[in-house]
Amino acid sequence: MHNFASQDVMTARTKSVRFGEEVREFSDPATHFHNMDESAVARIVMRGSDVSMILSDDGMVKDLAYRDHGFRDYKADAWIGQMLVDVVTPESVEKVTTLFDDVRQDTITLPRQVNHPGDRGPDLPVTYRFVRLSGSGPIFAFGENQSKVANAQSRLVQAQMELEADYRKLRETETRYRTIFQMAKRAVIVVDGANRTIMDANRSAGSMFGKDAAKLVGDSAANLLDRASRKDGIEIMTEAHYKGSAKSFKSKVALDGQDCLVSVEPFRENGQNNLLIKFDRTGTVTDIAETRSDQDIELLKNLPEGVALLDTQGNIVEINEQFLDLVQALNKDRIVGRQISNWLGASSVDSQVLLSKLKKEGRVTNFATVARGEAGGSNDVSVSASSTVVGDETRFILIISEGSRRDRTIQTQPFGADTNPGGISELVGRVPMKELIRDSVDVIEKMCIEAALNQTNNNRASAADLLGLSRQSLYIKLKRYGLEDFGDDG
């Protein structure tokens, strides 16, 4: 033991830099270790890492010790007497070979992650360093269990996927409503309720007031009115802000002095009441209603999603062609004038809840429900809606999307069953719980595999390492989820 401490360790200490790593070793090992016997050294080696192995020069596991009981589940005791390359996954063989080559050139290697195969569960990822204290002595392998890191990486991948999906859905919703806002032929501005400055304006407002819509932002809304009606306009905007009630009044446009009807509608945003102000170049409410109706019909025709215009009782006033396709109806005459609950909602309760929220809050986003066709079929849909005013009457605009983009992105078909992770709660009672749990796990597994392939630029071996899978297991899952050609389309 004295020779081991004073000669081999002193020899190893002569190199201060290995693989770019700064090394500081004991300055007087003979003094500190000369009384240590073999069992004490073995205990130190075992406690210093999760698994420690003694390897022959040709790569056989001669002995091992572990402090992490997880190795027992992977039958590590059976590794003794086997070649190390035979107890690792196929993609790890090259890494083991590299570790042996490195340790023959130097006394210690850089860490490398190696996977040991699991019988029925995931592979066991272990980061190994090889150490050789003398040219003719045994090779020591010190390993750290990386299962917790791999599990954390998987959870991080899943969380990142969910965040990105939510962000995409938020961007799509914002784009949809901004398109509607800009396509409207009526001049509309959004005003800060507290100081009455313009926060946003559509193209029609820019045309009416002789400015680019972006240049209206930051101006006072009252300055858009002529001086004679400006005071009344300020009072009505202030009252709408504090009382939360919609108001309309006649005024003149400051730019050209033409008559207009101004509608002020408060709405709640970021904890305060802001104002949606609409301008019509007309003198009568009847003209406004007719103009608005024509504008609504034109707007509905141009939208790519199913749209319905309702009165406050839920009766359909107008629809577009996409709504007809969604409910499999032949023409508008079969739809207009009837209750929306005939086509929207798993039951009449759904439409009642939707209308109640619209009356109370003025808008609804991503309301999950079902669209029922006249032929008897049904589709999962997402409804976003808002309240508006046509003339002096309140109307509800419903935009109906078939599912959502996030659901379509991660949707998979394990065992031939459609799976929608965003709508699991809606499937309770319609699908057995065992199938829900099974399909949900499959969806999450597919998401993780796609994320790993994206992060590794479609490198299958690296993706398997990231997921803690053997390459063979990854290929099986790729085939199962139809991902064999993932990334081939660029």
* More confident of the two residues 487 and 263: 263
What is this structure's pTM? 0.36
Does the pLDDT value for residue 438 go beyond 70? no
Does the pLDDT value for residue 288 go beyond 60? no
The answer to whether residue 429 is domain-embedded is no
Kindly indicate the confidence band of residue 141, based on its pLDDT and cuts at 50, 70 and 90: very high
What integer is the mean pLDDT of 329-342? 85
Place of tokens 């004679």: 228
Domain final position from 367, 386, 406: 406
Is 370 buried (19+), middle (13-18) or exposed (0-12) by CB count in 10 A? middle
Place of tokens 């007031």: 209
Does the pLDDT value for residue 351 go beyond 70? yes
The answer to whether residue 336 is domain-embedded is yes
The answer to whether residue 376 is domain-embedded is yes
Confidence (pLDDT) at 486: 78
* More confident of the two residues 482 and 417: 482
The answer to whether residue 56 is domain-embedded is yes
Question: In the structure encoding, which two tokens stand for residue 397, read together?
Answer: 């605009």
The answer to whether residue 157 is domain-embedded is no
Express each pLDDT in 396-405 by its tens digit.
Answer: 989 998 864 3
Confidence (pLDDT) at 105: 85
The answer to whether residue 48 is domain-embedded is yes
The answer to whether residue 97 is domain-embedded is yes
Q: Residues 206, 132: one domain?
A: no
Distance of alpha carbon 93 from its chain centroid, rounded? 36
Q: Residues 45, 140: one domain?
A: yes
Express each pLDDT in 108-136 by its tens digit.
Answer: 889 999 999 988 778 899 999 998 877 77
* More confident of the two residues 299 and 109: 109
Share of the chain above pLDDT 90, in %: 16
The answer to whether residue 1 is domain-embedded is no
Q: Which residues pair with 370 in a beta bridge?
A: 380
Which segments of 316-465 are extended strands (E)?
Answer: 316-319, 363-372, 378-390, 393-402
Q: Residues 295, 331: one domain?
A: yes
In what helix (H) or strand (E) does residue 286 lie, and over which residues does it extend?
helix 285-302
Q: Residues 307, 389: one domain?
A: yes
Domain final position from 95, 115, 145: 145
Q: Residues 300, 402: one domain?
A: yes
Confidence (pLDDT) at 299: 58
Domain final position from 123, 145, 167: 145
Q: Residues 320, 387: one domain?
A: yes
Q: Residues 333, 271: one domain?
A: no
What is the layout of strands, in order, in the sheet containing 61-66?
Answer: 61-66, 51-55, 139-145, 124-132, 112-116
Does the pLDDT value for residue 5 go beyond 80? no
Structural domain count, the chain: 3
Q: Cβ distance 368 to 402 under 8 Å?
A: no
DSSP of 431-449: B-HHHHHHHHHHHHHHHHH
Mean pLDDT of the chain: 79
Does the pLDDT value for residue 92 go beyond 80? yes
Express each pLDDT in 237-265 by its tens digit.
Answer: 888 888 877 888 888 888 888 888 898 98
Q: Residues 258, 298: one domain?
A: no
Q: Residues 251, 315: one domain?
A: no
Residue 109, domain CATH = 3.30.450.20
Kindly indicate the confidence band of residue 13, based on its pLDDT and cuts at 50, 70 and 90: very low
Confidence (pLDDT) at 7: 46
Domain of residue 48 covers: 37-145
